[in-house]
Amino acid sequence: MAKKEEHTKKTEQLKNYTDDAQGQPLTTRQGVKVNDTNNSLKAGPRGSTLLEDFLLREKITSFDHERIPERIVHARGSGAHGYFELYENQKQYSKAGIFNDTGRKTPVFARFSTVAGSKGSPDLARDVRGFAVKFYTEEGTWDLVGNNMPIFFIQDAMKFPDLIHSVKPEPNNEIPQAASAHDTFYDFISLTPETLHNHIWAMSDRAIPRSLRMMEGFGIHTYRLINDKGESHFVKFHWKPVLGVHSVTWDEAVKINGADADFHRRDLWEAIESGQYPEWELGFQIVPEADEHKYEFDLLDPTKLIPEEMVPVTIVGKMTLNRNPENFFAETEQVAFLPGNIVPGIDFSNDPLLQGRIFSYRDTQLSRLGSPNFHQIPINQPIRETHNNQRDGHMQTRIPKGQTAYFPNTLGGGCPHLSKIAEGAFSSYEERIDANKIRTRSESFIDFFSQPALFYRSLADWEKQHVADAYSFELGKCKQAHIKSRMLWMIEQINSDLAQKIANNLGMDIPKSIEQPINQAIGADSNVEDFQPGKAKNYLEKSPALSQSNTKFDSIATRQIAVLVGDGFAMKDFEAMQNVLEKEKAVIKLIGPHGGTIKCDTGMEHHVDASISTTESVLFDAVYIPGGKKSIDKIMSNGKYLKFINEALKHCKAIAADSEAVMLLDKTYVKDFKDDKAICINCDPKDFVKAIAKHRNWERMKKTDAIPV
């Protein structure tokens, strides 16, 4: 599909900064035309090289300084442009233009990331995913910098460096990369029980998404919406993916990291290039001021979610990502998100994690991007004009006119002048606060087991199994028995069955008690007893919204279907399947024994998308094998094809085969799964579509352990 031209104000603005070298001569950075960029200036053909060579110096100096520090967290990321549209006016809650004007297309730039790994780490690490959106609104830029899980590991910004130091590669040997399965992380987690809720999410399938386009996003913190009467409502922001929430298995994740370390980045890029634009709906969970203390948890505690069954999510609009960046560095790398970027109509709550973030992000950009002028980098520029008396600094690219750079002034005509709130100026919500200055943690935050227990109870059996497997893998990689033992005790507070399964896998016993205090994230002069969690409370038996088994299963758009073929494959079978799959917008890839082209049984030539030796089963959502005796004979003699099918089977994917291809299935483990709902033999292609739309047949998991791939 052709790329649609986009005309958001941000796109128009960015066009002024793009360079296009098509048809242009190579010049120096000063504009001088160059006739040789291959050889340095020398004293004679064999040197030495002359200091005078300004062309060499310019080229090499620029190269020497190409790198900027990678983000301390969220270094590995992928971004895209798009827009946000509001469904219905939300003026009862917020006076923000973006939530008032249904006619607007607010430009956005979104960046998705892993947290722990370096910039070049693989996409399928078990990790939280960042979900950051910059809204270029008419009233200034609003950044909603969230994650794909609705809670965070810690309750106070003061603990962030500790958390990140524990999960990053260990400082003595810089091992392991992009992995939480190591002693320092579990040392910290086991001593800091506030982390357990986010941690169990990280052990769930949410930490290994099938696609960035198939994960939820959450603002996490409670924010405020402010209406034009100055009234405040608490709000939690949710992003719901139109394609539903889907994940891969851990075995796939590990293999994808080797087969295509850019799996998520490529998937996002290709979906947008092909016109299958990723979409998320934005939702509000609104809590009136009067209900602030109504719940069993504190709204200011970022380790707690508000179950959707207690406060429903109201969908208010949709974000569509429809344009890939022109240049990764200029846009995705240089984009600077700041939770402190808010606009009138939106305000902060006193969540102590959020409060610290408001400071941290601006600070980090100073060392990452090198100057307080980072807002002038094109991707970071607001779409409305900016005027103030902040001046100078490294890389100032504007030329502020006039004699004055202070306020108040007469010499500059009093400009830039102030605006009243009624004219759109920001003013902070006038919350009444009457308190002592105190360094402590609120006692209302000290419940660490209830919500992880709710999360686990709400999962389907197959999800629970994945969680048990993940804990077993992670703790199995830890070396220190005392850390694993402490973790087992903690997990038992969440769920005894889960703890027992993990203990069995570790070959350990769950300890009856552990060293006190359980919670060590307190001050030395605090009364320790006041900060120890009690048993898990059960204020809601289950929250179905937390389980991926209740997500959407209605589309196979952009799903990658591997069609395994050899020369002479049956065109009739293939065509019937192709027509139905393509109508549903699935992406069909022909996997041949060799690259180039391949002939079907009618003699027609087909382009081979990948030869079997260059691709892997884990990169696809489903497998189809058309008949054709010659083709099947060829495929059957190649073990990689058999492995391909067995792996798809093990990962619970839909597999379809027609006519002679059934003989091939009999050479694989599929022969033992013929009554499986997602094995489609000589079936109506529409049934295959239904099986793919289900994402996986997780029922199959009960029998797949025996498959040796």
Of residues 176 and 356, the one with the C-beta less far from ligand HDE? 356
448 lines the binding site for ligand HDE (CB under 6 A): no
Among 361, 374, 462, 669, binds ligand HDE (CB under 6 A): 361
Of residues 342 and 561, the one with the C-beta less far from ligand HDE? 342
Among 350, 360, 551, 555, binds ligand HDE (CB under 6 A): 360
Query: Does 368 count as an annotated binding residue?
Result: yes
Query: Does 439 count as an annotated binding residue?
Result: no
Q: Is the dihedral of CA 147, 149, 150, 156 positive or negative?
A: negative
Among 10, 71, 168, 696, binds ligand HDE (CB under 6 A): 71
Contacts of 337 (CB under 8 A, 6+ apart): 111, 132, 134, 143, 145, 361
Among 276, 364, 520, 560, binds ligand HDE (CB under 6 A): 364
Q: How far is the CB of 6 from ligand HDE (least distance, A)?
A: 21
Here the tokens at position 701 are 């998991």
Of residues 167 and 642, the one with the C-beta less far from ligand HDE? 167
Residue 176, judged by CB atoms within 10 A of its CB (0-12, 13-18, 19+), counts as middle
Beta pairing partners, 237? 284
The residue type of 350 is N
77 lines the binding site for ligand HDE (CB under 6 A): yes
Here the tokens at position 98 are 């973006």
Contacts of 81 (CB under 8 A, 6+ apart): 6, 8, 10, 11, 107, 108, 109, 321, 322, 323, 324, 325, 331
* CA-based R_g, the chain, Å: 28
314 vs 72: CA distance, rounded Å: 34
Q: How far is the CB of 165 from ligand HDE (least distance, A)?
A: 12
458 vs 452: CA distance, rounded Å: 10
Among 157, 272, 369, 459, binds ligand HDE (CB under 6 A): 157
406 vs 402: CA distance, rounded Å: 11
74 lines the binding site for ligand HDE (CB under 6 A): yes
Q: How far is the CB of 138 from ligand HDE (least distance, A)?
A: 23
- As separate numbers, helices (DSSP H) first and strands (DSSP E) second, the chain gives 18, 18
Q: How many CA atoms lie within 13 A of 241 on its CB side?
A: 24
Of residues 337 and 620, the one with the C-beta less far from ligand HDE? 337
CB 565 within 8 A of CB 592: yes
307 lines the binding site for ligand HDE (CB under 6 A): no
Q: How far is the CB of 271 from ligand HDE (least distance, A)?
A: 19
Query: Does 700 count as an annotated binding residue?
Result: no
Query: Does 426 count as an annotated binding residue?
Result: no
Q: How many CA atoms lie within 13 A of 684 on its CB side?
A: 3
Number of residues that bind ligand HDE (CB under 6 A): 25
Contacts of 278 (CB under 8 A, 6+ apart): 80, 82, 212, 213, 241, 242, 243, 268, 271, 272, 320, 321
638 vs 531: CA distance, rounded Å: 62
x-or-dash string of contact with ligand HDE, 602-621, rule CB under 6 A = --------------------
Q: How far is the CB of 159 from ligand HDE (least distance, A)?
A: 8
Beta pairing partners, 679? 655
Residue 169, judged by CB atoms within 10 A of its CB (0-12, 13-18, 19+), counts as middle
117 lines the binding site for ligand HDE (CB under 6 A): no
Three-state SS for 23-67 is CCCCECCCCCECCCCCCCCECCCCCCECCCCHHHHHHHHHHHCCC
Q: How far is the CB of 71 from ligand HDE (least distance, A)?
A: 4
Q: How far is the CB of 40 from ligand HDE (least distance, A)?
A: 38
The CB density around residue 56, as the number of other CB atoms within 10 Å, is 17
b/e map 614-640, b = 16+ CB within 10 Å: ebbbbbbbbbbbbbbbebbebbbeeee
Of residues 130 and 278, the one with the C-beta less far from ligand HDE? 130
Among 169, 312, 356, 370, binds ligand HDE (CB under 6 A): 356
Q: Nearest to ligand HDE by Cβ — which residue?
A: 130
x-or-dash string of contact with ligand HDE, 216-255, rule CB under 6 A = ----x-----------------------------------
Is 74 catalytic? The answer is yes
Query: Does 384 count as an annotated binding residue?
Result: no
Q: How far is the CB of 478 from ligand HDE (least distance, A)?
A: 24
Q: How far is the CB of 362 from ligand HDE (least distance, A)?
A: 8
CB 83 within 8 A of CB 74: no
Residue 228, judged by CB atoms within 10 A of its CB (0-12, 13-18, 19+), counts as middle
22 vs 28: CA distance, rounded Å: 16
Of residues 235 and 678, the one with the C-beta less far from ligand HDE? 235
Among 78, 94, 113, 704, binds ligand HDE (CB under 6 A): 113
Of residues 71 and 95, the one with the C-beta less far from ligand HDE? 71
x-or-dash string of contact with ligand HDE, 123-152, rule CB under 6 A = -------x-x------------xxx----x
**H or E, element range at 587:** strand 587-592
Of residues 455 and 688, the one with the C-beta less far from ligand HDE? 455
Instruction: Identify residues 314-343 at the interface with ligand HDE (CB under 6 A).
Output: 336-337
Q: How far is the CB of 13 from ligand HDE (least distance, A)?
A: 20
375 lines the binding site for ligand HDE (CB under 6 A): no
Query: Does 361 count as an annotated binding residue?
Result: yes
Catalytic residue among 65, 89, 147, 436: 147
Of residues 157 and 546, the one with the C-beta less far from ligand HDE? 157
Among 8, 14, 73, 700, binds ligand HDE (CB under 6 A): 73
Among 93, 109, 142, 160, binds ligand HDE (CB under 6 A): 160
Contacts of 575 (CB under 8 A, 6+ apart): none
340 vs 364: CA distance, rounded Å: 13
Which range in 35-43, 71-79, 165-173, 530-538 contacts ligand HDE by CB under 6 A? 71-79
- 144: phi then psi, degrees, rounded to nearest 5: -105, 100
357 lines the binding site for ligand HDE (CB under 6 A): yes
354 three-state secondary structure: helix
Of residues 358 and 701, the one with the C-beta less far from ligand HDE? 358
The residue type of 83 is Y
Provide the annotated binding site: 71, 111, 160, 357, 361, 368
Enumerate binding residues for ligand HDE (CB under 6 A).
71-74, 77, 111, 113, 130, 132, 145-147, 152, 157, 160, 220, 302, 336-337, 353, 356-357, 360-361, 364
Provide the annotated binding site for heme: 71, 111, 160, 357, 361, 368
Active site residues per annotation: 74, 147
